[in-house]
Each structure stands twice: as structure tokens, then as C-alpha cells.
Amino acid sequence: MRFMFVGDSCTIGRAGDHTWRYRMWRHLESALPGRYEIVGPRTTLYDTAADAPLSHDYADPAFPVPARRHLAGWGEGWLHMAPLIGEAVATAEADVLLVSLGLIDLGFYTDSDQTAANVRAFVSAARAANPRVRAVLLPVIPNVRAESDAPFAAECARFNVLLAKAVADLDTAASPLLLASAPESYDLRTDTYDGTHPGPTGEHKLAGAFADAMHQAWGVGSPYGERR
């Protein structure tokens, strides 16, 4: 089973982060030993000093290079990934997409309707590359801007409704889609380092959201064990 992580700054991570991708790798090593591969066209972290995705400075240097693969970018959202996903799926022969996108779209690029349209374009392109591809989609999670910007908070909430509708509309037996549950008790003060990007506990909660969704709906792997 070939997994591809797709996301924005919360998924690529910055220099010095573990990332939730690392937490998921640790989980897959336990839950699917020898029966999975992590794929994708990129391997780096975002380097804040260079303002570019150039860093290899993961918090755990033992994180294997092949397991660092992903399709994530700082400042990239559904708008940016929809045109890229087809080639990425085809080249990497991805079976399962673990997708965390939307916050950057709504914050800077598109409204909830436009973002939902890009979700549908993304799914269509992924299926054109692999008609049996599976995907787990995470709603927009809590963030500090939504606490003080009521119109933005409303757009996040509306997009999450539209995302759930898209998953329900587009789910098929041949190419299943799952809507992961937003992490329980996600606390911006303890689970992020700046009100948006996950710290260690937040990384575990994001990985757990994907792992638990796959186990509960598809019987893939096991429930997420390590939470801290």
C-alpha cells in the first residue's frame, strides 16, 4: 500500500520539526510493517531563513529519507495541488492520499465555494491517474485567525460542510473517500507552536485522525496508539 501525504505548511513542516508525517511513519511501521511505502515527489522541510523548502533538518535525523516523501508546500492549498496531483499519483503509483488542505486557500486565495470546487477537481485528477485511488480528507482544523476573524471563521465552517458534501457525493466503491474527524480536544495553546502549525502533541493528533479513520472505515492498520 503506497501512501502519499498532501498538504500545506502544517504538513511539510519547518526546519527542526518532527512533522505529523513522521508520526504517521512511526505508526505505519508498527501497524503495517513491511506492507506499505510512503511516496511523493518532495522530501524537504520549509527553511524559514531561506523562505524556501530547502531544509533536511528533521527533528529526528533517523527519519529515513524514503519515508520523508510527500506532496506538501508552505503556502500551497487545494488551488495549487489540484493541478499537480494527477502527475504525482501517476508517477508515484500512489494508492492512498492523506490530505490536509484548505486553511491557506481560505486565508489567502479562494472562498469556500471556490475551494470546494478545487477539491472536486483534485479528486477528478487523482482518479484520472489511478481509478482505484483512495483518499482521506481532513477538515480545516482550529486556528488562531478564526478566533478573532469572524468572517474567516464562518468561511472555514462553511467549507468544512462543503467538504463533507463533496466526500459524500464523490465516494465510490472503486475509489473510496473518507472524511477524517477533526482531532478531539485540539488546543491551539498546547497543540500548536504559533496558533496554527502543530507542535509535538498536535502532530500526534493529526496523524491519529488519519490513522483512526482508515482503521475504522477500511480496516487498514490499527488505531493510533502514541498520542504524546
- SS3 sequence of 85-152: HHHHHHHHCCCEEEEECCHHHHHHHCCHHHHHHHHHHHHHHHHHHCCCCEEEEECCCCCHHHHHCHHH
Residue 224 lies in a domain: no
User: Measured between alpha carbons, how far is 171 from 178 in angstroms, rounded to an integer?
Assistant: 8
**Overall average pLDDT of the 189-202 stretch:** 96
pLDDT band at 227; cut points 50, 70, 90: low
Residue 127 lies in a domain: yes
**Overall average pLDDT of the 186-206 stretch:** 96
The yes-or-no verdict on residue 225 having pLDDT over 90 is no
What does pTM read for this prediction?
0.97
Number of domains in the chain: 1
End-to-end CA gap in the chain = 26
DSSP state of 198: B
- Domain of 104: which CATH number? 3.40.50.1110
**pLDDT (tens digit, 9 = 90+) per residue, 93-104?**
999 999 999 999
Residue 226 lies in a domain: no
Average confidence score pLDDT of the chain: 97
Following CA atoms 164, 204, 26, 176 in sequence, which dihedral angle do they give, to the nearest 10 degrees? -10
Report whether 55 contacts 46 (CB < 8 A).
yes
3-state secondary structure of 21: helix
| Neighbour tally for 148: CB within 10 Å | 9
Residue 23 lies in a domain: yes
pLDDT band at 24; cut points 50, 70, 90: very high
**pLDDT (tens digit, 9 = 90+) per residue, 34-65?**
999 999 999 999 999 999 999 999 999 999 99
User: Measured between alpha carbons, how far is 191 from 116 in angstroms, rounded to an integer?
Assistant: 27
The per-type count for the chain, helices as H runs and strands as E runs, is 9, 8
Q: Whole domain around residue 22: which residue ranges?
A: 2-218
